Amino acid sequence: MSTSRIAVVTGASSGIGAATARALAADGFHVVCAARRRDRIEALAEEIGGRAVACDVTDGESVAGLAREVGDTLHVLVNNAGGAFGSDPVESADPDQWRAMYEVNVLGLLRVTQALLPALRAGGDGLVVNMGSTAGRIAYEGGGGYTAAKHGTQVVTETLRLELCGEPIRISEIAPGMVRTDEFAVVRFGGDQAKADAVYAGVPDPLVAEDVAEAVRWIAGLPSHFNVDEMVIRPRAQAAQHKVHRQA
């Protein structure tokens, strides 16, 4: 077993999670790659010298299994597992999609954090990074369920920081704006690649997963007394949620 500092990244099978696992491993962390798709995380763990643990953050028993695999000591937890499902207005939104978004973005974060806090305490210098979104700050049409869930992510992060004040654990949230990954928008639009592509059409240089991973890596490398409460990051082309420069 590696004697390096240990990090857990949930949702590590693709996108921001996979990029974050690679970035932390490059900085010397032994990374536990947690996600539902075992084949993907096993390939990633082999690539970076980490460890793969199949975990569904919406299932309490699965999360308990992750905690057992991690063991008694942990230094960094990146609660990255999340997602958006659907883009209907409130009037016609599917409550099941809203429930699914709350389950993964809020309750999943809660389950994993609860399960791993004892190991973070035992590490003596812990860090929790919760992956939020600019959707957790600003509402927009067609995004009611996702914005509600990501506002939940933000508030859970703030509450946890208050409740753990005085303990050797830093609590941070990263809130990205427009990030182009292989799966996020495609999943949101039920596999409709054309709709997913339209989100980024004409936008010069949206953020990519590696950009967000760099933010996580930077926070994880800061001294113990230095807490980043929240970091909002966007591509230069996105001045605000509704203000995006698009080239013809």
8 token code pair: 């857990």
Strand duo 238-240 + 243-244: pairing: antiparallel
- DSSP 8-state secondary structure symbol assigned to residue 243: E
- Measuring CA to CA, which residue among 66, 94, 99, 63 is closest to residue 83? 99
Rounded Cα gap, residues 104 and 196, in angstroms: 21
**Residue in 102, 140, 146, 200 annotated catalytic:** 146
CA distances from 99 to 56, 105, 153, 212, 221 (A): 16, 10, 14, 26, 35
Cβ–Cβ under 8 Å, residues 118 and 100: no
Altogether, the residues listed in the chain come to a count of 248
222 token code pair: 């800061």
Active-site residue 200, yes or no? no
Instruction: Say how many C-beta atoms besides its own lie within 10 A of residue 118's C-beta.
Output: 14
CA atoms within 13 A on the CB side of 179: 26
Cβ–Cβ under 8 Å, residues 28 and 217: no
Instruction: Say how many C-beta atoms besides its own lie within 10 A of residue 215's C-beta.
Output: 22
Cβ–Cβ under 8 Å, residues 71 and 25: no
Which residues carry out catalysis?
146
